Amino acid sequence: MEHALALLTLIRSGAPAAVLRCLLDSHGDPVRALAAGPSAWRAAGLRESHFGLLHRPNRQLLDGDLDWLAMPGHHLLGWHSPDYPSLLRSISSAPAALFITGDPNLLWYAQIAVVGTRRPSAGGLDMARKFGETFAGSGLVVTSGLAEGIDTATHQGALAKGRTLAVVGCGLDRVYPASNAGLFAAIAENGAIVSEHPSGTAPLRQHFPSRNRLIAGLALGTVVIEAAERSGALITARLAAEAGREVFAVPGSIHNPMARGCHRLIRQGASLIESPGEVLETLSPMARELADSLRSRLGLESCVVEGSKIASGTPPGPGEARLLDALGHDPVGLDQLQQRTGLTVSALSAMLLGMELDGLISLSEGRYSRRS
């Protein structure tokens, strides 16, 4: 909690993310960065105007942040942490910290972003749901911005077959738009919601372009489904391209004003796609590479199922064997698996993650089952 309080104090000072990243790089963790004092702060680029809030932080705000963080499923992930997602770390404008509701491990999974207009056609909504379902069913985490329209349909489709991650432009104690309160709760339960803003932050207009850079930075690629020529979806696509990520656009009718943004992207070099399979074919090698790095990070071995045993470089341990016997072809929840195996939730989660990365099991609506 000491590190969390120090990191929150740094964030609440209002200092730019680049300066906070520099401080954390220089001193290793937020406690040392905060204790380094004015000369070190000044050397990192911090302005004198921020010093007061570092010396005398607003305790009411910090107590509210700590209360939020103490709630189940709430997390704070700093730039100094080895758990900070590697893809996001590689962009020049990465935030100094991320607030997360849900499963923080999802930030390390291979992600595909799907974005588009808030005023889609009926066909655009159907397409967004289909793409979300197909991507999530293939094992990718589907990332979008929780906005009305294409974002909402994409999240809904992804939840039907797997997991989704929402990036928002306000504090995680707020739901914006309010009409997506139910979807917000479902994603928090079966995925993750991410923000760079602490609790109490309103959904201000200027937060959404910066929100888009997180969507682009977390994902291997971005798919645009219906977008006007001037839209946030095109900003996300541009940021993805600048980060060296793949950009895909779905063409539409020349009579549909919400197809013009996609046509513009295609003219500028985005990949024209007509089906989710084309995206999966392009991203599969990169997704495998990211999965290997995730295995390495968690100390997991790649494994193959033969009959009812796990065959890998070493024999399966008793816990792995119990888990494999407990898993059937009918979906089962984590609580039920814990009762059947007697394993802790953390041990189960690590084993299930390894099996999922190797394509041995599937996850749908929070329940696990063996793949055929």
Q: Are strands 74-78 and 97-102 parallel, antiparallel or unpaired?
A: antiparallel
Residues 6 or more apart whose Cβ sits within 8 Å of residue 63? none
Mean pLDDT of all residues in 239-261: 95
Mention the CATH class of domain 300-370.
mainly alpha
The whole-angstrom separation of Cα 114 and Cα 116 is 7
pLDDT tens figures, 129-140: 999 999 998 889
Per-residue pLDDT at 364 exceeds 70: no
Q: Which residue has the higher pLDDT, 90 or 346?
A: 90
Q: What percent of the chain has pLDDT over 90?
A: 72
The pLDDT value recorded for residue 347 is 66
Closest CA relative to residue 84, chosen from 222, 218, 219, 216: 218
Band of pLDDT at residue 334, cut at 50, 70 and 90: confident
Return mean pLDDT, the chain. Answer: 88
pLDDT tens figures, 140-160: 999 999 999 999 999 999 999
Tell me which CATH code domain 104-285 carries. Answer: 3.40.50.450
The pLDDT value recorded for residue 372 is 66
Q: Where are the domains of the chain?
A: 2-70, 104-285, 300-370
Band of pLDDT at residue 345, cut at 50, 70 and 90: low
Band of pLDDT at residue 15, cut at 50, 70 and 90: very high
pLDDT tens figures, 18-72: 999 999 999 999 999 999 999 999 999 999 989 999 999 999 999 999 999 999 9
pLDDT tens figures, 155-196: 999 999 999 999 999 999 999 999 999 999 999 999 999 999
Is the Cβ–Cβ distance between 87 and 217 less than 8 Å? yes
